Amino acid sequence: MSISLNPPKWTADRKPEEFRVRKYIFDTRRTVCESFWYDEYLWPLVEDAAIWEAKSGEDVWGTELTKITNRNWEISDLALRPEMTPTVTRMIAKYQREYTKPIRRFSIANFYRNERPQRWRNREFWQCNVDLFGSELLTADIEVLQMACETMKAFWATSEQYKIYINDRRVVDHFLNSLSLDDDLRKEAVRTMDKWDKMSEQDFISTLEDKWVSVDQSKSIAQFMKHDKLLWEVSQDINLVYETLQNLWYWDFVAIKPSLMRWFDYYDGMVFEVFDLHPDNNRAMFWWWRYNGLADIFGVKDSIPAVWFAPWDEPMKLFLESWDLIPTELQQERYFVPLLEEWKEEQVLKKAQEMRSEWKRVECWIKVQNEAKAFEYAFKKWIERDNVILI
């Protein structure tokens, strides 16, 4: 039997020249996180599937969750991680007594969702997760939002290239409660509101009516979606966040967006998204929100307030490519020390060792070759002539 050279469907190999771009993205994000004194962590590749079934959106636990079989080919209680939030909440709930609050954490890891692949994401994708636990103060939200701004700034992005939209889910919930919607209808309304930008107003109203929302209620929701007046009038937090961002010189990047929902059930505060303005992409790159009540699924009596954002690798890569923001030379300067004569082997190794102690990237050739072959090899690997060290 012949095994295919291709990776599994809807996954991708990352060759060195392509991975260098990913590494640039990862390293830049890591630098920003560490500048705010966030600590990096790791967690298991698999988790109890009940974590996502308890609190994630229907798409994640219903169709996108990839469960693992046991040795008897029976579906087990474990699943590949499709997202990070419930997992890191479990970790914090378990170890919170060991740390002084607020607890600042970040991670860069891969995930898997059995979803329909799109231009900006395969089924396997990489994501940077940033969480702040232990504070209900708005300053915590502002800090995480500032980190998002600084992340885009680190990639040299401008206000003409992206926009940060913000909304307050508490105002949305208050508005929907004023319409006397029960819990089930309110959840259906939120899911539909999250798709406002992808349909016409009439289709939006019809979709709500199909979910048993009345005609008058559907029209009221449509009016709410078209105007941000209520948000400015009711949400003191939005006003304070906007004012603070102005004082931090981010005002060109931020706008209010009533249609911004992010519909997972545990989102219960302010939300934002970083949106790519390039006409070829024109989509959200990553999101931010609060999820104060998630720890209750682990039997924790005291609620653990938390705020989070998570940029993906593929949307950022497309953003950088579309706006020509990828540095022209990501490869570090490289050196080549060929072995021209067998008796010089020890000298070659010592020279390479000396150069590596200066944090230079050095390649040695373990086979004896003449000078012409040495330069031919170096040029094929894009090593400059002056960086070929002859012994």
Residue 294 has pLDDT above 80, yes or no: no
Mean pLDDT, range 72-92, rounded to an integer: 85
Domain contains 267? no
Contact criterion met (CB below 8 Å) for 310 and 84: yes
How many structural domains is the chain composed of? 3
The confidence score (pLDDT) of residue 57 equals 52
pLDDT tens digits, one per residue of 254-270: 888 887 876 555 556 78
At 157, the pLDDT band (50, 70, 90 cuts) reads very high
Q: Identify the three-state secondary structure at position 151.
A: helix
The confidence score (pLDDT) of residue 36 equals 97
Please give the span between the terminal C-alpha atoms of the chain, in angstroms, as a whole number. Answer: 49
Q: Which of 255, 233, 266, 281 is nearest to 164 (CA)?
A: 255
Same domain flag for 13 and 80: yes
Domain contains 270? no
Tokens at 123, concatenated: 């089924």
Weakest-pLDDT range from 90-99, 224-233, 256-265:
256-265
| Domain end residue (candidates: 215, 230, 262) | 262
Same domain flag for 139 and 284: yes
Domain contains 272? no
pLDDT tens digits, one per residue of 13-59: 888 888 899 999 999 999 999 999 999 998 888 888 888 776 655 55
Q: Identify the three-state secondary structure at position 88.
A: helix
Same domain flag for 72 and 108: yes
What is the widest separation between alpha-carbon atoms in the chain?
90
Domain contains 315? yes
Same domain flag for 346 and 325: no
Same domain flag for 229 and 311: no
89's enclosing H/E stretch is helix 85-95
Domain contains 1? no
Residue 318 has pLDDT above 90, yes or no: yes
Average pLDDT taken over every residue of the chain = 86
Same domain flag for 145 and 186: no
Q: Which of 272, 235, 237 is nearest to 138 (CA)?
A: 237
Domain contains 305? yes
The confidence score (pLDDT) of residue 267 equals 59
Using a 10 angstrom Cβ sphere, with 0-12 exposed, 13-18 middle and 19 or more buried, the burial of residue 28 is middle
pLDDT tens digits, one per residue of 53-81: 766 555 555 577 888 888 888 888 888 88
Q: In terms of residue numbers, what domain contains 216?
A: 162-262
Strand partners, 133: 103, 306
Distance, CA of 62 to CA of 64 (rounded, Å): 6
Same domain flag for 220 and 325: no
Same domain flag for 327 and 339: no
Residue 109 has pLDDT above 70, yes or no: yes
Same domain flag for 132 and 195: no
| Domain end residue (candidates: 316, 331, 346) | 331
Same domain flag for 57 and 113: yes
Q: Which of 65, 90, 95 is nearest to 80 (CA)?
A: 65
Same domain flag for 204 and 301: no
Distance, CA of 92 to CA of 97 (rounded, Å): 9
Give the residue carrying structure tokens 């991670």.
Answer: 107
Same domain flag for 297 and 149: yes
Distance, CA of 49 to CA of 143 (rounded, Å): 32
Q: Which CATH number do you get for residue 20? A: 3.30.930.10
